[in-house]
Chains A and B, each alone.
Chain A
Amino acid sequence: MIHADVPTLEVRNLKTHFFTRAGVVKAVDDVSFTVQPGQILGLVGESGSGKTVTGFSILGLVDPPGRVVDGEIRYKGENIANAGEERMRRLRGNNIAMIFQDPMMTLNPVLRVDTQMIEAIQAHEQVGREEAWERSRAALQQVGIPAAEERLRSYPHQFSGGMRQRVAIAIALLNKPDLIVADEPTTALDVTIQGQILYEVQKLCEETGTALIWITHDLSVVAGLADDICVMYAGRVVEHGTVDNVLDHPSHPYTHGLIGSVPSRNRRGQPLSQIPGMTPSLLNLPPGCPFKARCPRVGDACDEAPEISQPVAGRDVRCHYPVPAGETAGETAEVPA
């Protein structure tokens, strides 16, 4: 029942705020994006940029004192922002799955892998144990776990970190979800193991048409994996476009600076171009553009928060003074602080 014109996920003006004793933390503040079937979206940002909370909001996993205060999350046209717990339970793990950075968050340490996998299937579908077991075995094989039958009888602690992450991915795949939200799933893994996981994920999206949101701080991973990229800063999407466009000709000064500070983009031994200062606290964010204190292109208009504009076709940028298209990243090096 996939309508070609209905995106798998459409997030419109999402706002998730945390009401703490010290004040309101606007962790996600007006975020919009769409993901089509089979598409991979990279959600990139530094710590505290709101990328994980965006992922949690989609799955309805935001706990008090936080809540989705405004905006829409449309899963195949149905608004699931603030949907009832019963509805979310039916969607989670069935239509929408999540992969966490730490696979031990997904896996129960005292249950065997087969118990957990069969449970995940039977929670959503009326199938016999035999059939569920067979599907679990197939899922483990799909993510490249050798001797799947044997491994089904193991406990999570008997797996290595990379294998554990594969099991977590296999569980996410069990019910053939239309959308997977992956939150830094390879950050804790070694490069060769990361390569293996990326290979499996890429194959999966191609073969099954699953849409994927890949949350990460690592621009280089997104470059090799994603179709589209969303760059977040202080709870807002500051730039959104295709990977080629955004990485080759970033418009927002933050994206520009971020790409410039990746070591491989710089001449060896030369100082890296750097963004001065540090990420602002989301509590009591000053009015205006949150990036203005660190921005090399700051001007008078920046005292007012910029709205989304399209300086180039097919690109959303939230900036009063976007970088002109001709300038490539890393060329305008800052004076080191």
Chain B
Amino acid sequence: MSVANEAPATAANEAAVTPDVPILELRHISKRFIKPLDAAAKVANLFGAGMRDEIVHAVDDVSLTIDDGEVVGLVGESGCGKSTLGRVVAGVHAASGGDVYFRARDVSTMGQKEARDASLRIQMIFQDPMSSLNPRLRVQDVVGEAPRVHGLVAQSDVEDYVADMLLRVGLDPTYARRYPHQFSGGQRQRIGIARALAVNPDFLVCDESVAALDVSIQAQVLNLFMRLREEFKLTYLFISHDLGVVEHLSDRVVIMYLGRVVEMAPTDEIFGAPNHPYTHALLDEVPRLDTRKRKFVPVKGEIPSPLDPPSGCHFHPRCPHATERCRVEQPHLKEIAPNRWSACHLNDAL
């Protein structure tokens, strides 16, 4: 309980004016992946080769508060750390630094029972349902196993419970005895959703959950997400590279680039008046139905390797407005307007 009263450590916290406790709070979360030296490199080091471990800062000091019932869209290109952040939130990865607070309780200091309960409350839906569903289990076991093991339903009621869950995600309950491979991609994604919902979560982390689906099926699943949000009072962290999907679904959007949050704002504002040059570039490149025969003006350069990110502001080699300061000094997230955060030195010049 001691942590709950601690003064908010991050700047992001001061923005949250709601008196209610946020459902999830990330404070200075970092996640590093280290590839240790192999035997050959160690031997080489004995002779003074001076090789070092390869370290990837997948997530670099991210602070984020998510309120109850909110849909937060997390956007970025490949390698920006959005999936890693989602996995830290869902408890799949442990953070290398920083703390995750669930309903104002530090997840790392919870007792065993409480921690298990908290982890049940946060569920994850993956991009590829084929690799996240056990191909050798029938749907009723995929969906029914977790609630049975955790004692949420009695053994005798599991069948009815699974049937109810399948109905809610728009699947025929008579399919319960089938295997995942007997379903189409869209249906499989629905099974993945039913599996997550079966343990009665409050918070869903959706990692590219509609990316692999055809447009018409994608619309069906997005509608399902919106209906379930009402029905189960869910909070979403919706991770996607598809800005159209994020714009449609989210209340607030967080943009990441090479492990850092570069901009964070309510959806209307970020799409209406992006602040960070990277957000600008990203929005300009999004193909839209209404822009015909457009002149594509490319952003220069490639996404740098997260193994060796550029100094200062990670975006500076591709940024049209980069100055000397951007090359040396890392910009920090600052509140540029109420509830609008951006990490860019250009805002200081205004």
Contacts and interface: CB of A to CB of B under 8 A. Distances in A.
Nearest to B296: A199
B76 to A, nearest CB: 9
A273 B226 CA distance: 13
Contacts of B184: 278
Contact of B288 (A144, A195, A223): A223
A260 B226 CA distance: 17
A219 B77 contact: no
A262 B299 contact: no
Contact of B291 (A144, A223, A259, A260): A223
B292 interface: yes
B248 A191 contact: no
Contacts of A262: 215, 244, 289
Contacts of B218: 261
B290 to A, nearest CB: 7
A196 interface: yes
Given A190-B77, A263-B245, A263-B248, A219 B219 contact: no
Contact of B303 (A144, A192, A268): A192
B215 A46 contact: yes
Contacts of A218: 215, 287
Contacts of A202: 295-296
Contacts of A243: 292-293
Interface stretch (B91-99, B278-286, B327-335): B278-286
Contacts of B293: 224-225, 227, 243
Nearest to B222: A272
A235 interface: no
Interface residues of B, number: 47
Contacts of A264: 244, 247-248, 288-290
Given A264-B247, A268-B248, A160 B302 contact: yes
Nearest to A262: B289
Nearest to B299: A192
B309 interface: no
B23 interface: no
B170 interface: yes
Contact of B296 (A46, A198, A263, A268): A198
B251 to A, nearest CB: 9
Contacts of B168: none
A260 B281 CA distance: 26
A46 B185 CA distance: 12
Contacts of A144: 298
B288 A278 contact: no
Contact of B297 (A47, A160, A199, A336): A199
Nearest to B214: A46
B272 to A, nearest CB: 12
A105 interface: no
Contacts of A258: 215-216
B267 interface: yes
Contact of B302 (A163, A274, A337): A163
Contacts of B186: 278
B243 interface: yes
Interface in A260-284: 260-266, 268-269, 271-276, 278-279
Given A223-B292, A224-B287, A274-B219, A191 B247 contact: no
Contacts of B286: 191, 220
A65 B223 CA distance: 39
Nearest to A261: B219
B148 interface: no
Contacts of A274: 216, 219-220, 223
A217 B213 CA distance: 10
Given A258-B215, A263-B244, A272-B248, A223 B296 contact: no
Contacts of A162: 302
Given A163-B302, A198-B296, A223-B290, A191 B216 contact: no
Contacts of A47: 214
Nearest to A146: B301
A219 B215 contact: yes
A247 interface: yes
A125 interface: no
Given A191-B243, A271-B226, A337-B170, A223 B267 contact: no
Nearest to A223: B289
A137 B216 CA distance: 43
B247 A268 contact: yes
Given A47-B214, A264-B248, A273-B219, A196 B298 contact: yes
A192 B285 contact: yes
B154 interface: no
Nearest to A190: B77
Contact of A195 (B223, B227, B292, B298): B298
The list of the 8 closest CB pairs from A to B, nearest first, reads: A261-B219, A263-B248, A199-B296, A220-B287, A195-B285, A190-B77, A196-B298, A46-B214
Given A260-B219, A264-B288, 7 more contacts: A144-B298, A191-B285, A193-B302, A195-B297, A196-B298, A243-B293, A268-B268
Interface of B: 77-78, 170, 184, 186-187, 214-220, 222-223, 226-227, 241-245, 247-249, 267-268, 281-282, 284-299, 302-303
12 contacts: A46-B216, A191-B77, A191-B243, A191-B282, A191-B286, A192-B285, A196-B296, A219-B215, A223-B287, A264-B289, A275-B220, A279-B216
Interface of A: 46-47, 144, 160, 162-163, 190-196, 198-199, 202, 217-221, 223-225, 227, 243-244, 247, 257-266, 268-269, 271-276, 278-279, 336-337
